[in-house]
Amino acid sequence: MSQASIPKGAAGFGAGQAPPQFTPDQINHLRSESKQSEALAVIITFTAWAGLTVCTRYYTRVFVVRSPGLEDYLIGVAMLASIGMCVSISQQIANGTGLHVMFVPYTEVTQGLRALYGTLMTYNLSLTFIKLSILYQYYRLFVSRYMRYSVYIATAIVICFGLDTLLTTVFTCSPIRAYWDPTLEPQGKAKCLNRFAAWFANGSINIATDIMILLLPMPEIRKLQMQKRQKIVLAFIFGLGWVACIISMVRIYSLRVIQKNMHDPTWYSVYVAYWSVIEANVGIVCACAPALKPLVTRIWPSFAKTSRKRSSDGDDQSDEVIVTIGGGRRNDGVSSGAKKSKGSGASSENEKDVIEGTLDADLEDEAAVKAGRYNNKV
């Protein structure tokens, strides 16, 4: 029997009661339908994938680059929030999400709404800290005045939006317990915001901030003189970010689906649940991808960039450079004296070198020096 055959009045039949117009065979068929196993598989798989990626990132930053930064701690907070979201959604599933509402007791419905309350808070926290981690990564890699001011503005927007979504979620209903007790509002004992209006608004702004962050470094990227292989790698890394943005759009569509099918909310809400998990965890993986480059180049040296440079005395010199975007870099072959001979007027070339990995100094030390210089100017 098609799931769409449940009439819109079915939501009123809780505690195992089915609408009287259903035949016993139809009821048995609906009772046997479940999306719970599918949902659990999705949320556990994607959360585990993101967790493994974050652990690999920490290994790279601590043992390979030997210089963890603030962006690594921020992504750690995002991962903890994602784990919390996984736990909350598991509680939703344990209380009826993924089943037809007519077979879900009222007590489980309220417990599921309580778990949804936690899911929304951890979801918003995870997305906020993912974006802050990416922005701080930009801050350390791109040292131009344009990027510094752009990152300041973008960070302020992300923090304000994150606080707005958090407060909107916490105070959706007054009193707060009306969020998971749907009997209070009809009795006039509580007032609640239009949840779908808030969800659609927050989802749209979330996509807008995603696009803003993806486009932010493009003017700097266009300045780079890179080998084709390097451009492909860079395009792939930024392409991952667009994948996360598309997933955000799919999640908004899933909200529209449940809005049209509120006669069976526990059945249709499963789509929103696992697309939320996919969005957050793919975002974490995308944020970690640039920081894994040093480990990748250590395992597969072919990812390292080999360049030919001419020394100050006119001799050609071959250098093996490990390119990292947001990680460490090592250049074996250029002395610090040669670097200094470039002079202070080569700031634009140095800015490109921060991304291309063509400076000989250690990434973190050099980035710190440059950041200090530009901060003084700003």
Q: Total domain count for the chain?
A: 2
Averaged pLDDT for residues 63-80 = 94
One domain for residues 33 and 179: yes
| Buried-state track 50-88, b at ≥16 Cβ within 10 A, e below 16 | bbebbeebbebbeebbebbbebbebbbbbbbbbbbbbeb
Euclidean distance between CA atoms 369 and 349, whole angstroms = 15
Omega within 30 of 0 (cis) for the link into 175:
yes
Strand duo 173-174 + 330-332: pairing: unpaired
Is residue 311 domain-shared with residue 235, that is, in the same domain? no
Longest dimension (CA), the chain: 93
User: How far apart (Å, rounded) are the C-alpha atoms in residues 166 and 100?
Assistant: 30
Residues 313 and 268 in one domain: no
179 CB contacts (<8 Å, ≥6 apart)?
A: 113, 114, 117, 172, 173, 192
What are the Cα distances from residue 235, in Å, to 24, 221, 325? 56, 10, 12
pLDDT in tens, 288-338: 988 888 888 888 876 555 433 433 344 443 333 333 333 334 343 333 333
What separation in angstroms does the CA of 139 have from each of 69, 134, 263? 11, 9, 48
Mean pLDDT of the chain: 78
**pLDDT 10s digits, 128-152:** 999 999 999 999 888 888 889 999 9
Regarding whether 318 and 283 lie in a shared domain, the answer is no
Q: Do the Cβ atoms of 284 and 206 come closer than 8 Å?
A: no
The verdict on 212 and 322 lying in the same domain is no
Whole-Å CA distances, 91 to 73, 115, 378: 27, 6, 49
Nearest to 358 by CA among 311, 314, 303, 320: 320
109 is written with which tokens? 């419905």
Q: Compute the radius of gyration of the chain from its Cα atoms.
A: 25
Residue 122 binned pLDDT confidence (cut-offs 50, 70, 90):
very high
Beta pairing, strands 316-322 & 305-310? antiparallel
Among the candidates 294, 310, 326, a domain finishes at 294
Q: Are residues 258 and 311 in the same domain?
A: no
Contacts 24+ apart (CB under 8 A), 296-299: 297/322, 297/323, 297/324, 298/64, 298/322
Instruction: Based on the fold, state whether residues 325 and 241 are members of the same structural domain.
Output: no
Map tokens 């080999």 to a residue: 306
- Give the pLDDT score at 305: 52
CATH number, domain with residue 168: 1.20.1070
For residue 10, pLDDT beyond 80: no
Q: Tokens 């939320």 belong to which residue?
A: 276
Averaged pLDDT, 91-120:
94
**Exposure of 336 in the CB half-sphere (CA atoms within 13 A):** 3
Structural domain range at position 344: 298-377
Give the count of beta carbons closer than 10 Å to the beta carbon of residue 202.
20
Structure tokens at 102: 């007519």
Instruction: Kindly report each contact of residues 59-65 with a partner whose C-beta sits within 8 Å and lies 24 or more positions away, as own/partner.
Output: 59/295, 60/291, 60/292, 60/294, 60/295, 60/327, 61/291, 61/327, 64/294, 64/295, 64/298, 64/327, 64/328, 65/294, 65/324, 65/327, 65/328, 65/363, 65/364
Lowest mean pLDDT among 81-85, 96-100, 192-196, 294-298: 294-298
Where among 244, 260, 294 does a domain terminate? 294
Boundary residue ending a domain (294, 318, 340): 294
My answer on whether 361 and 330 are in the same domain is yes
Within this chain, do residues 337 and 277 fall inside the same structural domain, yes or no? no
Q: Please give the structure tokens belonging to residue 134.
A: 């990416």
- Model confidence, pTM: 0.77
Q: Which of 22-31, 165-174, 207-216 has the lowest mean pLDDT?
A: 22-31
Q: Which two three-digit tokens encode residue 71?
A: 């962006």
